Amino acid sequence: FRHVNMSTFAEVASSQFWTSIAPECSITADHIGPFCHTSYSEEEIAASQTTMQQAGFIHLAFGSGETNGDVQVKKARFSIPSSVVPLNDIVKTLASAMGKLVQCQWHPIWVVVFDETWILAKRLEKMVQDLLQRHDLHLNMDFFAWFLDPSKMQRGWGPHRDRETMPFDSHGLPDYITVWVPLTDATLTNGCMYVLPAYFDPEYIAQATTAAESTDLDVQSIQAVPASVGSCLLWSGRLLHFGGRASFRAPHPRMSLSFALSHPSFEDPFLRLPEAQHRPWHVLPSLTERLRVIATQLWTYEAKEPLDERTRFILDAIEEDALRHLEDPDRSV
């Protein structure tokens, strides 16, 4: 396999390059393919809305995995046709791919090149819309990914709020929701997420009028949120949260992927890929477009995840290619 420090832009822009690293994944689909709608009762919807309003987060189970903790857990109900790949299978495929990318010294966010990442995100987008009855929120391509290696005792990001000035709708539901998906079981020993529930956080509402982001917290109010494969965490843009540290005693790395849903009046869901706004929902971005999203994300979060010189070179090449495409949209890639 080619490591990042040996790769050229021409290779990175080739689907064969990525599938040679992770042959279990694909970069051939141009649409989401068959999927099934979630089904929630009125009581489940009302309870989930209340939990999001009061706590600022929800733990959602979408597969067969069991979840821990005293947060509210919802399990989506499906009638799955044989043509639909279960979400659990997609998650396991992405975990395998992420492990191979990291082994080849690629940042885990490069998993966004694969069809499976986009299919997972789009299917979960529909699930969240149905659960909270917020069909005015749309997939925001604010992707990121983490691989916490227990042998290196790596840790997630420190306490922060994703969007501290985010507004609420007329029902008190957030206009920006992060969807965080564990690709391996996130446990107390490998660095699961920790949150300050909104009902313990006097700054949760006050942040709208605060000039600087408040990350002050009462340690005894922090709640650990272990999450198994087959579930995801949904949290408000204002929720104070952080990733834990992986212990050398953890049996496996913590791999995870996140993206967001946002209301256009607060943050344009298509900010990172404007041309996608005019396409049908089921259409997937091209590989070139996925590379642009990755480049944008790595530059955006460079302060949290420093970039080496070779990665910078590749990201510069991706952006130069994007500019050439804007000048000549009919140019073949």
Average pLDDT over residues 184-205: 95
Q: Is 258 helix (H, G, I), strand (E, B) or coil?
A: strand
The 10 Å CB-count burial string (b at 16+, else e) for 43-67 is ebeebbbebbbebbbbbbbbbebeb
133-173 confidence digits (pLDDT tens): 999 999 999 999 999 999 999 999 999 999 999 999 999 99
What average pLDDT does the structure give for the chain? Answer: 88
DSSP secondary structure letter of residue 288: H
The pLDDT assigned to 80 comes to: 44
Q: Is 54 helix (H, G, I), strand (E, B) or coil?
A: helix
- The three-point CA angle 8-13-14 to 5° equals 100
Inter-CA distances, 123 with 39, 173, 201, 226, 258, Å? 13, 21, 31, 22, 14
235-270 confidence digits (pLDDT tens): 999 999 999 999 999 999 999 999 999 999 999 999
Inter-CA distances, 8 with 21, 101, 313, 325, 331, Å? 15, 16, 9, 19, 20
265-293 confidence digits (pLDDT tens): 999 999 999 999 989 988 999 999 999 99
Grade residue 71 by pLDDT with cuts at 50, 70 and 90.
very low
Is 97 within 8 Å of 84 (Cβ atoms)?
no
Q: Which among 83, 111, 136 is positioned nearest to 18, based on CA atoms?
A: 111
Question: Does the pLDDT value for residue 120 go beyond 70?
Answer: yes
The pLDDT assigned to 169 comes to: 96
Question: Does the pLDDT value for residue 221 go beyond 90?
Answer: yes
Question: Does the pLDDT value for residue 79 go beyond 90?
Answer: no
Is 153 within 8 Å of 245 (Cβ atoms)?
yes
Inter-CA distances, 28 with 12, 113, 114, 243, 285, Å? 15, 11, 9, 33, 11
Which residues lie across from 160 on neighbouring strands?
Answer: 241
pTM recorded for the entire structure:
0.90
Angle between helices 87-103 and 115-132 (to 10 degrees): 140
Map tokens 């956080």 to a residue: 201
Question: Does the pLDDT value for residue 110 go beyond 50?
Answer: yes
Is 148 within 8 Å of 230 (Cβ atoms)?
no
| DSSP notation for 32-44 | --S----B--HHH
**Run of H or E residues at 233:** strand 231-236
Structure tokens at 23: 């042959």
Question: Does the pLDDT value for residue 64 go beyond 60?
Answer: no
Structure tokens at 226: 């272990």
